[in-house]
Amino acid sequence: MTNPSEKYQYVSSAKLPTKLGKFAIHGFVETESDQEHVALSYGEWQSDEVVPIRIHSECLTGDALFSTRCDCGAQLERALQNIVEQGKGVLLYLRQEGRGIGLLNKIQAYKLQDEGMDTVEANEHLGFDADLRDYTICKLMLDKLNVKHVNLMTNNPKKHKALIEMGINVVERTPIDHGITDDNRHYIRTKTEKLGHQFSEQQLKK
Ligand SMILES: Nc1nc2c(ncn2[C@@H]2O[C@H](COP(=O)(O)OP(=O)(O)OP(=O)(O)O)[C@@H](O)[C@H]2O)c(=O)[nH]1
Ligand SMILES: [Zn+2]
């Protein structure tokens, strides 16, 4: 098995003041593809402390353009707020747009959804698996930030499993069920029924 540190490199860090608080930003690159990823960190910790973390997959439409087709923008904001409220934490922002199919393919998938398919059917119609994401780089990012024990903010059991397999101690999982709207209720139900995300019926009815 290839050592993750040969596939990915840490590049640099800088201050990142935001409207939510004063973070630092850390840049990483996949050496073969030149794909760039970033981590945001807030506060300080020792390696034996449990650190709240969010692994967030890029969603240009939701994160930056206020789309309510999905819950990404609300989850991103809530995760950063949680980190600031707890005084420490890390956001791994992975450039895996469209669950790994890329932005323009995601827009093609959206069109198919406008015509009646769900997110999984649309991906498959375009010739992709439902979810192409790879979380290997998280290990290098967390090692670099001295994080070994985490409280993971997610509803996605695949992220939980991936961290455990790479030797990260997932002490706790915090659900992140913000941003459910009438526009994305069907999208979230598909995630629950076909991709294994953990939303309760009560959350889906909100
Ligand atoms: N292919 C595809 N990707 C989508 C679609 N809607 C959102 N995405 C992408 O889905 C990714 C977010 O994944 P989600 O399944 O919403 O959530 P998650 O990251 O698995 O789980 P959480 O940690 O609970 O948020 C982002 O990369 C989005 O760009 C869609 O309709 N089709
Ligand atoms: Zn999204």
Same domain for 22 and 62, yes or no, is: yes
**Shortest-distance atom of ligand 1 to CA 191:** 15
Asked if the model's pLDDT at residue 160 lies above 90, the reply is yes
Starting from the edge strand earliest in sequence, which strands make up the sheet with 36-42, in order? 8-17, 22-30, 36-42, 89-94, 50-57, 149-153, 169-174
Q: Annotation-wise, does 154 bind a ligand? A: yes
Asked if the model's pLDDT at residue 2 lies above 60, the reply is no
Total domains, the chain: 2
Residue 50 sits at φ, ψ, to 5 deg, of: -85, 125
Strands (E), the chain: 8-17, 22-30, 36-42, 50-57, 89-94, 149-153, 169-174
The two structure tokens encoding residue 152: 């993971």
Assess contact for 27 and 40: CB atoms under 8 A.
no
Which one of 80, 112, 131 terminates a domain?
Answer: 131
Place of tokens 């991936």: 162
Q: Annotation-wise, does 97 bind a ligand? A: yes
- The verdict on residue 150 lying in a domain is yes
- The verdict on residue 153 lying in a domain is yes
Q: What is the mean pLDDT of residues 180-204?
A: 78
ipTM over the 0.85 cut-off: yes
The predicted structure's pLDDT at residue 197: 82
- The verdict on residue 10 lying in a domain is no
Distance, in Å, from the CA atom of 168 to the CA atom of 147, rounded to the nearest integer, reads 8
CATH code assigned at 36:
3.40.50.10990
- The verdict on residue 122 lying in a domain is yes
26 alpha carbon – ligand 2 mean position (Å): 23
Same domain for 179 and 114, yes or no, is: no
Paired strand residues for 37: 28
Q: In which band, very low, low, confident or very high, does the pLDDT at 201 lie, cut at 50, 70 and 90?
A: low
Same domain for 88 and 175, yes or no, is: yes
Global pTM reads 0.94
Closest-lying ligand to the alpha carbon of 117? 1
- The verdict on residue 5 lying in a domain is no
Query: Picking from 5-14, 101-110, 129-138, which range would have the lowest pLDDT averaged per residue?
Result: 5-14
Same domain for 111 and 127, yes or no, is: yes
- The verdict on residue 25 lying in a domain is yes
Same domain for 42 and 80, yes or no, is: yes
Length of the chain, in residues: 206
Same domain for 86 and 115, yes or no, is: no
Query: Picking from 113-117, 167-171, 183-187, which range would have the lowest pLDDT averaged per residue?
Result: 183-187
Which one of 131, 148, 174 terminates a domain?
Answer: 131
Same domain for 162 and 182, yes or no, is: yes
57 alpha carbon – ligand 1 mean position (Å): 7
Same domain for 36 and 123, yes or no, is: no
The DSSP H or E segment spanning 163 is: helix 157-165
Closest-lying ligand to the alpha carbon of 56? 1
What is the DSSP-derived secondary structure letter of residue 128?
-
**Shortest-distance atom of ligand 1 to CA 197:** 24
62 alpha carbon – ligand 2 mean position (Å): 4
Q: What is the mean pLDDT of residues 24-52?
A: 97
Q: Supply the mean pLDDT for the chain.
A: 93
Q: What is the mean pLDDT of residues 157-181?
A: 92
Asked if the model's pLDDT at residue 166 lies above 90, the reply is yes
- Give residue-wise pLDDT tens across range 144-155: 999 999 999 999
Same domain for 110 and 141, yes or no, is: no
- The verdict on residue 1 lying in a domain is no
Active site residues: 131, 133
Same domain for 127 and 109, yes or no, is: yes
The predicted structure's pLDDT at residue 203: 65
In order, the DSSP letters of 170-203 are: EEEEE-------TTTHHHHHHHHHHS-----HHH
Same domain for 154 and 85, yes or no, is: yes
Q: Which domain holds residue 45?
A: 16-96+133-205
